[in-house]
Each structure stands twice: as structure tokens, then as C-alpha cells.
Amino acid sequence: MSDRRTQIVDAAANLIGQRGYAPTSIEDVIREAGLSGKSHFYHYFKSKEELGYAVLSRQFERFAERGLAILREPMIDPLERLALFIDTLVALQIARGFAGGSPFGSLAAELADAHEGFRERIEVVFARWSAQLQSLLWEARPRLHDDVDTGRLARFVIATLEGALLMSRVDRDPAALQGIAHDLRRFVAMHVREPSAALTAPPAPVGARAEQGERAGGERVTGG
């Protein structure tokens, strides 16, 4: 992706994160990206829809490189990785003042019923995220109860996190969001023969979890 195209995508991602896809116009993106006019925009994108698809792809690339990197960290126990991933997403949502949340959940809520192209692409995003979580849970399979469906558990983790991030944009309550993370970890622990402290411990301070996530993933964990 060229530098200018990346600049346009990043500008659009910022606006869509604040306002949503529908209220964000091409003119808004042109101003935000510092373009000279519509012809400049259309040199890189045929339509607003094509730009929206590029934003979604870019957001997942960032999430995969930063957020999902924690799930693949070989030096950390797999279930501890999962606990760290959950708490870090929550800690960073609090640290950025509850702005944004998950771009995937937000776009799904806005567009899944109205735009089949976005629905299909968001479905792929969630499937890839679920596959990463399922792979991690499969690593921990010998420690899980025999009847655990790792795919179903992975989808439950995603659904809970997406719902929690969305709700946090409204109530802006750090304790409530941390409580959901704690309950989610404890739910995962119910599927483990001998749960570790990482799954059952109370939430760590926001700064501590964010810093630990950066060390594990190499960069900040973010969904946006």
C-alpha cells in the first residue's frame, strides 16, 4: 500500500471510528487526509465502499500484528496468554477513555444487515480471530476437560469481548469492564482441569496490564 493510500485509509479509519461508516462522507475523508479534491481521492479508490473495505483490512492487519501476537507468544503458557489478551484489551480500552472499542463489532452492528459485502468481510475477520483463539486453546487441550469444544469456547470469548467493548463506550465504567474480563477468565477456568492463577486472579491495574501486553506482543494491543 502506497504512503498516500495508507494516509487516506488511516484518515478514514479515524473518522469511521468516531462517527460510523454511513455518516462519514468522501468529503470528510478528503479534508481529514489533506487531499486536494475528489479527483485525488478517486485516483486511489473507486468508491467509498472500496475505501471501507480497505479500512476493514487495515484494521485487521493491525489487530493481527499487535493484538493477536500475544496469542502466538511461544514463551508464555497458552492459558496465561489468553488471560493476558483479555485483560490487555480491556486495559487499553480504559486507557484510551473508552473511545473506539472494536472496529469490527462497530461495523458489524452498523452494516451487517444493510450491506452484504461488509457482512461477508466482517464474517471472515471474526472467523480468522476465532481460528487464532481455537489454535491457542488446542495447545492447552491436554489441560482442558474432555468435553470442551474449543471452537465454541473461542467464539464465546470473542462474543463476550465484543459486547463488553461496545457497552463500555456507553457506560464508561472501568470497574464494570474489568469485572467482565474477570468473569470471562473465570468462565474459561471452568473448562480447565487445574486452573492457574492467571485465569482466576482479580484484574491487574490498568497500566500494568497494558505494559505487560506491550512486552508480550511487541507493540500496543488495539482493535483500532
Q: Which pLDDT tens digit goes with each residue over 120-129?
A: 999 999 999 9
The DSSP letter of residue 142 is: G
Grid cell 483490512 — which residue? 57
**Spatial distance between the Cα atoms of 49 and 132, rounded to a whole number of angstroms:** 28
Domain 59-217 annotated CATH 1.10.357.10 = yes
Q: Please state, rounded to an integer, the average pLDDT across all residues of the chain.
A: 87
DSSP state of 192: B
What's the CA gap between 143 and 75, in Å, rounded?
A: 18
For the entire predicted model, the pTM comes to 0.82
Q: How many Å apart are CA 165 and CA 11, to the nearest integer?
A: 22
Asked if domains 1-45 and 59-217 share a fold, the reply is no
Is the per-residue pLDDT at 220 higher than 50? no
Whether the predicted pLDDT of 20 surpasses 80: yes
Take residue 176 and report the three cell numbers written for it: 464494570
Taking the C-alpha atoms of 209, 214, 216 and 222 in order, what is their torsion angle to the nearest 10 degrees?
90
Kindly report which listed range (77-86, 97-106, 121-130, 153-162) carries the lowest average pLDDT score.
Answer: 97-106
Residue 192 has pLDDT above 50, yes or no: yes
Third-level CATH fold of 1-45:
Arc Repressor Mutant, subunit A (1.10.10)
Contact 12, 55 (CB under 8 A): yes
Mean pLDDT for the stretch of residues 181-193: 97
Is there a contact between 83 and 185 (Cβ–Cβ < 8 Å)?
Answer: yes
Average pLDDT over residues 43-70: 88
Domain ranges of the chain: 1-45, 59-217
What average pLDDT does the segment 39-48 reach? 96
